[in-house]
């Protein structure tokens, strides 16, 4: 117990990064398992009926918040807490203790979040469900919103002070991306979860989708790309192909990502000019996406074959390719003529998994296999498990996305021909089963991943001196 | 060098604030739709039902706006309908039906039975069972559902717009829509184009109607007595919004549409809802045998205006 406490509230360099990663993986396994359970309710709707906490409407927010706020955001925090000190030329964060407290607070918020969501305390806005409502006097306060905001600000302060107190005076592009994400996301979060401004109906929807898309655009995209800009040169040993391109990508993300939210409600009666702004900026998203990917793939030049033997690089490359697919799909879906057909269908659910599982989670997987040996001083327990993790997750998302795209088209045909729901919903039964099968593959992969990481972390330490700015050593 | 970072950082802040202003503050301050009759101010009971709808995550599968491409979704929504809908429940994905016009469609007891065991009321449905809701909660939820779209129902039938009446007046001399010759010509056009959905007797039970969310019109309902010639012409030419009725003006000629109007006017428009006279219907052994009371086809036409028998034999009206 004492050892665990001292590991949690440690001042040791990189301990915050390690602790964040270990807990994030727990939320990953929990979040994906809940997702699998929710998907099984499509196959056998009566299997768990009568249990309020396990009905689909309660499980879905737990799945979403578990993987988004629990796994991905904490995984990003872990990556930032390793990459920022290294790039700033510091040994460890400005305050590892503050970092570890942030980790503890974040996990407490997530535990409370899962319990309150299961018991029906939700804000009922997509991606912003965390509420934790408490009533003081006549007012109700959603403390979990404030808790997430506080941990994001603590994260931002720590990252900022680390950069400011570092010895390296030139900012590598990843630092731009991380500090940008840590500046943008708290603002987006407070707008999305506002409890202090009452907006009428459709204005609430507009603002809700401003948040709903920018949690992806200004946090997951920006953070994930920042991680990859650090990892790809490290993995390949090549210098970054173009610093100018990376900066063009950074600025255009800031310009074009933020106004795109309204493309989620294109057929609703919101102002037409706002829809046009959203569609046009969605198409312009191709600019940052293509600059970023050109940069990634040109940096990989001559080193593609190393991916055969280098598991983190494999994760990184498949994540990059999934990013290309996502971001070609995204602007294509946002145009009015395509959105007309696929809106409201499972196609979009497939797209969300392509972005968050196939792209950004893969980036964090790649980073974690690189970071864990460096923050713990231990070799990864098993390369074979990592390879299994890769293939199970890869096939899992491919099956899921292809399946959901087809299911979405069937569903959309039902809507557009005015066929009653209880008739076309029967057609989708095989697709629900295939989705659950892909979910089994994904959950299995994540359990192997958790086993591999925990086995590594709790094994005896193999090297005393943690590397300050490690290069070239490949542990997996 | 440091100062450059601050200049650049200032730009990040500035651009982002401008975007926030344009996409959230500007709509919130300029987009102020006027509340329509469909905008419903909830009573405490209905509000409690709405909170149950939110709590149980109904909005993950049920949307609350009819898009222009939703055939059979009912009346379109307007911006002002949502004035009292905070937080919004527009929804993102439709695994179940759209609920913007669900109010008044089913009885309260149907809703309760459906929530307790969805498969019993709709076989094949994958809706979770909400049997764990207490009776009070179920009452509140159903009270909320019954408000949805209640203010969006039209008070009566729609009259054709002025330009359509003018158009009809300009061409009505081409065909005498009251003549049996025109009706006969229209009958062929009806059989070729309309019978697949509306059925050969205009009962709205053609084979394709099985697959339709919004069932085709049954022209034998007394409601159609209200239709003027211009109204028939308008509906044939421009279709019916919110349904799969095509705009025949795109493919039929004007005379052909007038022939159709002539035929539609001859359909019997006196059938009653089945419930009203269900006890007075006699047992008929062979529904296709001619009624022996009618010796000749002329006599039969004189009595009922319908060569297939009296209207009550036409089956259940929709």
ipTM of the complex: 0.91
**Rounded Cα–Cα distance for residues A251 and A112 (Å):** 37
Q: By CB neighbour count within 10 A (0-12 exposed, 13-18 middle, 19+ buried), where does B264 fall?
A: buried
Output the CA torsion sign for A428, A432, A433, A437: positive
For testing the chain B interface, which of A49, A202, A288, A353 should be mutated: the one with the most B CBs within 10 Å?
A202
Contacts of B19 in chain A (CB under 8 A): 255, 258-259
Residues in chain A: 476
Predicted confidence pLDDT, tens digits, chain A (476 residues): 788 888 888 888 889 999 999 999 999 999 999 999 999 999 999 888 889 999 999 999 999 999 999 999 999 999 999 999 999 988 889 999 999 999 999 999 999 999 999 999 998 888 989 888 888 877 788 889 999 999 999 999 999 999 999 888 888 899 999 999 999 999 999 998 876 678 888 999 999 999 999 999 999 999 999 999 999 999 988 899 998 899 889 888 888 888 999 999 999 999 999 999 999 999 999 999 999 999 999 999 998 988 888 899 999 999 999 999 999 999 999 999 999 999 999 999 999 999 999 999 999 999 999 999 888 888 888 999 999 999 999 999 999 999 999 999 999 998 888 788 888 888 899 999 999 999 999 999 999 999 999 999 888 877 766 554 444 333 33
User: What is the H or E stretch that residue B92 is in?
Assistant: none
Q: Is the pLDDT of residue B288 over 70?
A: no
Contacts of B31 in chain A (CB under 8 A): 202-203, 206, 270-271, 274
Give yes or no for B196 touching A (CB within 8 A).
no
Structure token digits, residue A118: 């299961």
Structure token digits, residue A38: 């929710």
Least confident of A12-21, A407-416, B89-98, B305-314: B305-314
* 3-state SS class at B108: helix
8 A C-beta contact, residue A131 and residue A121: yes
What sections of A48-142 are H helices per DSSP?
Answer: 56-65, 73-88, 96-118
Of A227, A325, A206, the closest CA to residue A275 belongs to A206
Rounded to 5 degrees, what angle do the CA atoms A248, A254, A260 make? 125
Distances in Å between the Cα of A223 and the Cα atoms of A316, A363, B43 are 14, 10, 45
Percentage of the residues of chain B whose pLDDT score is greater than 70: 82
The pLDDT of residue B232: 92
8 A C-beta contact, residue B64 and residue B176: no
Rounded to 5 degrees, what angle do the CA atoms B204, B206, B210 make? 95
Contacts of A207 in chain B (CB under 8 A): 24, 28
Q: Is the pLDDT of residue B310 over 50?
A: no
Rounded to 5 degrees, what angle do the CA atoms A335, A339, A344 make? 155
Q: Phi and psi (nearest 5°) for A142?
A: -95, 95
**Rounded Cα–Cα distance for residues B294 and A309 (Å):** 91
The pLDDT of residue A90: 86
The pLDDT of residue A228: 95
Of A45, A60, A120, the CB nearest to B127: A45
For testing the chain A interface, which of B8, B14, B15, B19 should be mutated: the one with the most A CBs within 10 Å?
B19
Q: pLDDT tier at B294 (50, 70, 90 boundaries)?
A: very low
Number of Cβ within 10 Å of residue B286's Cβ equals: 6
For testing the chain A interface, which of B53, B95, B144, B215 should be mutated: the one with the most A CBs within 10 Å?
B95
Q: By CB neighbour count within 10 A (0-12 exposed, 13-18 middle, 19+ buried), where does B27 fall?
A: buried
Of A41, A49, A206, the CB nearest to B27: A206
**Rounded Cα–Cα distance for residues A295 and A307 (Å):** 17
Measured in angstroms, the CA of B90 and the nearest CA of chain A are apart by 8
Of B87, B129, B244, the CB nearest to A125: B87
Contacts of A261 in chain B (CB under 8 A): 23
Contacts of B40 in chain A (CB under 8 A): none
The whole-chain average pLDDT of chain B stands at: 81
Of A132, A164, A309, the closest CA to residue A235 belongs to A309
Contacts of A169 in chain B (CB under 8 A): 1-2
Give yes or no for B119 touching A (CB within 8 A).
yes
pLDDT tens string B181-191:
999 999 999 99
Residues 258-317 of B with CB under 8 A from A: none
Give yes or no for B121 touching A (CB within 8 A).
no
pLDDT tens string A360-384:
999 999 999 999 988 888 888 899 9
**Rounded Cα–Cα distance for residues B266 and B176 (Å):** 13
Give yes or no for B90 touching A (CB within 8 A).
yes
Contacts of A259 in chain B (CB under 8 A): 19, 22-23
The pLDDT of residue B272: 54
Contacts of B65 in chain A (CB under 8 A): 267-269
**Rounded Cα–Cα distance for residues B89 and A119 (Å):** 20
Rg, C-alpha atoms of chain A: 22
Give yes or no for B42 touching A (CB within 8 A).
no
How far from each other are the two terminal CA atoms of chain A, in whole angstroms?
30
Domain boundary assignment for chain A: 2-170+291-457
CB-CB under 8 Å, B54 with A42: no
| Structure-token match 């659950």, residue found | A436
The pLDDT of residue B19: 86
User: What number of CA atoms fall less than 13 Å from residue A372's CA on the CB side?
Assistant: 30
pLDDT tens string B140-170:
999 999 999 877 766 666 778 888 889 999 9
Structure token digits, residue A471: 């290069």
**Rounded Cα–Cα distance for residues A71 and A30 (Å):** 9
Number of Cβ within 10 Å of residue B114's Cβ equals: 19
pTM: 0.83
DSSP annotation of A343: T
Q: Which CATH architecture has domain A2-170+291-457?
A: Up-down Bundle (1.20)
Q: By CB neighbour count within 10 A (0-12 exposed, 13-18 middle, 19+ buried), where does B192 fall?
A: exposed
**Rounded Cα–Cα distance for residues B208 and B244 (Å):** 11
**Rounded Cα–Cα distance for residues A78 and A366 (Å):** 13
Give yes or no for a cis peptide into A395 (omega within 30° of 0).
no
* 3-state SS class at A140: strand
Number of Cβ within 10 Å of residue A70's Cβ equals: 27
User: What number of CA atoms fall less than 13 Å from residue B79's CA on the CB side?
Assistant: 17
Structural domains of chain B in order of their starting residue, each with its CATH number: 44-152 (1.10.760.10), 162-274+283-314 (1.10.760.10)
Mean pLDDT of B81-98: 89
How far is C-alpha A143 from the chain's CA centre? 23
């Amino acid at each position: 117990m004492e050892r665990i406490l001292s590991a949690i509230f440690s001042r040791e360099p990189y301990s915050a990064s390690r602790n964040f990663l270990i807990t994030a993986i727990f939320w990953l396994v929990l979040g994906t398992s809940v997702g699998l359970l929710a998907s099984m309710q499509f196959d056998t709707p009566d299997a768990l009926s009568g249990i309020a906490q396990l009905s689909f409407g309660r499980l879905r927010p737990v799945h979403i918040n578990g993987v988004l706020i629990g796994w991905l955001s904490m995984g990003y925090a872990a990556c930032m807490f390793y990459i920022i000190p290294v790039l700033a030329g510091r040994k460890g964060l400005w305050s590892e203790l503050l970092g570890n407290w942030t980790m503890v607070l974040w996990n407490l918020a997530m535990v409370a979040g899962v319990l309150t969501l299961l018991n029906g305390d939700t804000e009922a806005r997509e991606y912003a469900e965390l509420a934790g409502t408490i009533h003081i006097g006549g007012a109700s306060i959603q403390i979990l919103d404030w808790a997430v905001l506080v941990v994001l600000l603590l994260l931002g302060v720590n990252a900022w002070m680390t950069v400011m107190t570092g010895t390296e005076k030139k900012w590598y592009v990843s630092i731009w991306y991380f500090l940008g994400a840590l500046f943008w996301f708290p603002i987006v979060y407070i707008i999305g979860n506002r409890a202090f401004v009452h907006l009428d109906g459709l204005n609430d929807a507009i603002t809700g989708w401003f948040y709903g898309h920018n949690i992806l655009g200004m946090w997951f995209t920006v953070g994930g790309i920042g991680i990859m800009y650090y990892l790809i040169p490290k993995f390949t040993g090549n210098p970054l192909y173009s610093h100018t391109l990376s900066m063009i990508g950074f600025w255009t993300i800031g310009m074009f990502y933020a106004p795109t939210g309204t493309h989620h409600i294109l057929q609703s009666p919101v102002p037409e000019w706002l829809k046009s702004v959203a569609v046009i900026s969605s198409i312009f998203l191709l600019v940052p996406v293509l600059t970023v990917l050109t940069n990634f793939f040109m940096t990989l030049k001559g080193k593609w074959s190393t991916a055969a033997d280098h598991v983190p690089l494999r994760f990184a490359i498949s994540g990059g390719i999934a990013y290309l697919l996502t971001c070609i799909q995204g602007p294509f879906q946002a145009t009015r003529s395509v959105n007309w057909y696929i809106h409201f269908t499972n196609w979009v659910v497939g797209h969300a998994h392509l972005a968050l599982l196939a792209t950004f989670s893969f980036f964090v997987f790649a980073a974690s296999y690189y970071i864990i040996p460096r923050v713990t001083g231990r070799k990864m327990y098993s390369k074979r498990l990592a390879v299994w993790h890769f293939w199970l997750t890869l096939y899992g998302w491919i099956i899921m996305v292809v399946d959901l795209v087809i299911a979405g088209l069937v569903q959309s045909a039902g809507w557009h021909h005015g066929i009653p729901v209880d008739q076309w919903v029967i057609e989708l039964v095989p697709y629900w089963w295939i989705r659950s099968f892909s979910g089994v593959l994904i959950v299995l992969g994540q359990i192997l991943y958790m086993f591999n990481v925990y086995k590594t972390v709790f094994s005896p330490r193999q090297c005393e001196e943690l590397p300050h700015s490690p290069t070239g050593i490949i542990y997996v | 060098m440091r100062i450059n970072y601050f200049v650049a950082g200032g730009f990040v802040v500035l651009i982002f604030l401008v975007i926030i202003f344009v996409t959230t503050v500007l709509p919130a301050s300029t987009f102020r739709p006027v509340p329509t009759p469909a905008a419903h101010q909830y009573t405490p009971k209905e509000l409690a039902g709405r909170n149950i709808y939110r709590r149980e995550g109904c909005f993950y599968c049920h949307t609350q706006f009819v898009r222009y491409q939703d055939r059979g979704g009912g009346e379109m929504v307007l911006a002002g309908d949502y004035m009292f809908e905070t937080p919004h429940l527009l929804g993102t994905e439709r695994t179940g039906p759209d609920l913007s016009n669900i109010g008044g469609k089913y009885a309260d007891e149907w809703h309760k039975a459906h929530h307790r065991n969805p498969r019993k009321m709709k076989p094949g449905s994958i809706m979770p069972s909400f049997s764990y809701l207490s009776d009070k909660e179920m009452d509140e939820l159903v009270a909320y559902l019954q408000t949805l779209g209640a203010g969006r129902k039209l008070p009566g039938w729609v009259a054709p717009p002025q330009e359509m009446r003018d158009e009809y007046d300009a061409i009505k001399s081409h065909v005498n829509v009251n003549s049996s010759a025109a009706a006969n010509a229209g009958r062929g056009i009806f059989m070729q184009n309309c019978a697949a959905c509306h059925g050969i007797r205009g009962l709205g039970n053609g084979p394709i109607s099985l697959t339709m969310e919004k069932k085709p019109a049954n022209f034998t309902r007394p409601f159609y007595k209200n239709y003027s010639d211009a109204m028939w012409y308008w509906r044939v030419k421009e279709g019916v919004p919110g349904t799969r009725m095509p705009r025949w003006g795109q493919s039929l000629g004007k005379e052909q549409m007038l022939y159709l109007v002539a035929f539609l006017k001859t359909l019997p428009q006196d059938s009653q809802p089945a419930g009203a006279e269900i006890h007075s219907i006699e047992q008929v052994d062979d529904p296709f045998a001619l009624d022996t009371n009618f010796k000749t086809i002329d006599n039969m036409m004189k009595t009922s205006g319908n060569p297939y028998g009296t209207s009550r034999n036409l089956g259940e009206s929709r």
